[in-house]
A = this chain, B = another copy of it.
Amino acid sequence: MKEKQALDMLGALSQETRIRIVRYLVGCGEQGAAAGDVGKQVGATSSRASFHLSTLEQAGVISSERQSRKIIYRANFDRLGGLISFLLDDCCGSHPDIRACCLGQKACC
């Protein structure tokens, strides 16, 4: 993953409403969830949910597909994995402490 892409994803994830959306959509798996459902889950008005969903989509964190009158959003699992790889390898140079810590081989904060 390129730095620019990673920065966009990090920016998109650094917001309370949006990280909740991602957490919910990851939980929904391949099935995804409609914009309205997502909004209800995270306690956002329709326009606010729409704004954050499109921010996440632009950053590549999630993607959407219209299903009749609903729009279904899904987490982009590959991209999320790619971001974590970026942090682990490119940004953190595969530092052994970080890798150990994040793989549960070492206690951390």
Contact = CB atoms under 8 A, between A and B. Distances in A.
A82 B108 contact: yes
Contact of A102 (B8, B10, B85): B85
**Copies of this chain, tallied across the complex:** 2
A22 interface: yes
Contacts of A79: 108-109
B109 A19 contact: no
B87 A108 contact: no
A101 to B, nearest CB: 3
Interface of A: 1, 3, 5-8, 10-11, 13-16, 19, 22-23, 26-27, 29, 75, 77-85, 87-88, 90-93, 95, 97-104, 106, 108-109
